Amino acid sequence: GYERFKKAADAVKENGGAVLSGQDAFVLWDTYGYPIDLTEVMAVDFGLSVDMEGFNASMEEARQKARNARYKAGGKSIVLDANATSQLRNQGLDSTNDSPKFQHKVHSSVVKAIYTGSEFIATASGDEDFGLVLESTSFYAEQGGQIYDTGSIEGPSGSFTVNNVQVFAGYVLHIGSFLEGPDSKALSVGDEVKCKVDYTRRTLIAPNHTCTHMLNFALREVLGDHVDQKGSIVLPEKLRFDFSHGML
């Protein structure tokens, strides 16, 4: 990692520059495990600064690629972009009420919007993936490093398998497709539905989430208050906790 840093820093200085690119800083973080604050300290030793805006842009691009890869359930990526969320807001649709996610039981709700990935439609049918925005939901959307819930949403004319749950500008998008079965499968805006979260899976996730907080506390107790959490991933089978521990 140091050799990679030195090569990039020397190239900047040879070209008369004073800023290490955000992409170089991101490669050091992503490939070699260098925390960004360590890269900044090393850059100062070389008389350089780090392009933090570029680093954050590279980080967000990597996160988006990871999200897209995770919710390509049927080879189709569904994302509520800024234009889509603006449409919902202009229609007067309130943000999704997700407070029922703390209640471990079947939750009743109403379909408020159906999104194909390119447009909103009134009724969904067939085998293609699509996204549902509900009035309220008991599903946990991916956030704070914790993986999304899975399960099903049952309507009057079909059962929808939830493979992914993401939140965009306050709107929780349930992504998936209909269960295999009868041909007459459909969901329409205004349908009353029942949210059935896979609580067995969530029961495996919950202690790993708790353990990230325990790790954060323990690391600060043992190593000192300078320890800074840099990220985490919480899954049913494992957790990962990233932190900086600079000793200057």
Answer whether 243's CB lies under 8 Å from 227's CB: yes
Two structure tokens written together for 7: 């090569």
Task: Write the pLDDT tens digit of every residue in 17-61.
Answer: 999 999 999 999 887 778 899 999 999 999 999 999 999 988 877
Q: What does the alpha-carbon distance between residue 134 and residue 206 come to, in Å, rounded to a whole number?
A: 24
Condensed to tens digits (0 to 9), the pLDDT of residues 220-246 reads: 999 998 888 888 888 888 999 888 887
Angle, CA 212 vertex, CA 207 and CA 216 arms, to 5°: 145
Structure letter (DSSP) for residue 139: P
CATH 1.20.1530.20 is held by the domain 82-197 = no
User: What pLDDT shows up at residue 60?
Assistant: 79
The CA distance from 219 to 224, in Å, is 7
Q: What is the model's pTM?
A: 0.68
Which segments within 62-214 are labelled E, that is strand?
A: 107-115, 120-121, 123-125, 130-134, 151-155, 158-168, 171-178, 186-188, 192-197
Is residue 66 scored above 80 in pLDDT?
Answer: no
Could you tell me which residues come within 8 angstroms of residue 30 by beta carbon, excluding any fewer than 6 positions away? Answer: 62
pLDDT at 41: 93
Find, among 231, 229, 203, the residue nearest to 144 by Cα: 231
Mean pLDDT value across residues 11-15: 93
Is the Cβ–Cβ distance between 154 and 108 less than 8 Å? no
3-state secondary structure of 241: strand
Tell me the domain boundaries of the chain. 1-73, 82-197, 203-244
pLDDT in tens, 127-153: 888 999 999 999 999 987 889 999 999
Are residues 152 and 162 in contact, defined by beta-carbon separation less than 8 angstroms? yes
Q: Which DSSP state fits 183?
A: S
